[in-house]
Structure 1
Amino acid sequence: MGTTSSVFQKRRFPLYSVLYYRGQLTTDFTFKSVASGLLYALLWLFGDVNDAVIALLALMTLDVVLGLSVAIKYHDVSSDKLRQGAVKFLLYFVLIIAANCVDRVVALIPLMSQVVQIRSFTMIYLAVSEGISVLENLSALGVVVPKVMLKRLRRFKQSMEK
């Protein structure tokens, strides 16, 4: 019998395997096209990946890890709290997308694009909020956190909310 086409051959990796998708990304033109289109759409929606984005993602990751550590320490692990945290982060992403879209529209007005940077303001606000949460979690875990740090971050956050 001759060789069978790749459609009928047994897969070496399950569909959820990273190696499977890596192979698809390097060989399948349709898969590459769809993946690059989705990546472009995400980058357009979220804006440039700069230090602020990386710092915010790092703070969000720290907040999740430290929040879980605090919950484990105090035997207060709850699926409701995890769900609320996931929804909060999802809404953060929606807020960043909205701020980036506003920036794109404002950029059409030559004089306003230099003055109004909604996405940057949003990223700073979210980073300060996450920074406060990280410091509070560290404090709950027994790490000595200078009160002046929390006080200044809270004051800065309040000034941004006005």
Structure 2
Amino acid sequence: MTAWTTRRATAADAAAVVGLRALMFSEMGVPGVDDPGWQEAATAWFERELDGGRCCVVVAEDADGEVVAGAMVGLRFETPSPVNPNGVWGLLNNVATQPRARRQGLARACVEGVLDWLRDETEATVVELFATGDGSRLYEELGFAPTAWPAMRLRLDR
């Protein structure tokens, strides 16, 4: 087992975070993963947002300093409701681990890191995610529960 550490990502980690995002999409079977357009846009987005207060990415790096895993949470602001009285939500996503670094607790450590950020530095009271089959067990162990209403999506043509 290789030694690793976790830390909050900064703008300098944008390319590595996009690489993990591409890995996640690839393993989910999402088409267009190799399109450089979205990757360039995502890199620019992470460069702007990682040092701000609207999202947090926690990465794990190996002994050589290579980012091998990560998790992200972003804030969503909605009208208060019975489910979330203050309307501040966390959306957990972008959880990915390079194949060579799996089964070492890295995804869990990264998810716990972003949940700590939500608890300690934001007003979020509810966290949501869209789980893959591989991730469901981890999320359930961390206290996530399925919801009664699965997501639906409409893509607007522009």
* TM superposition score normalised by structure 2: 0.32
- Looking at secondary structure, tell me which structure has more strand per residue: 2
- Looking at secondary structure, tell me which structure has more helix per residue: 1
* Greater C-alpha Rg: 1
* TM superposition score normalised by structure 1: 0.32
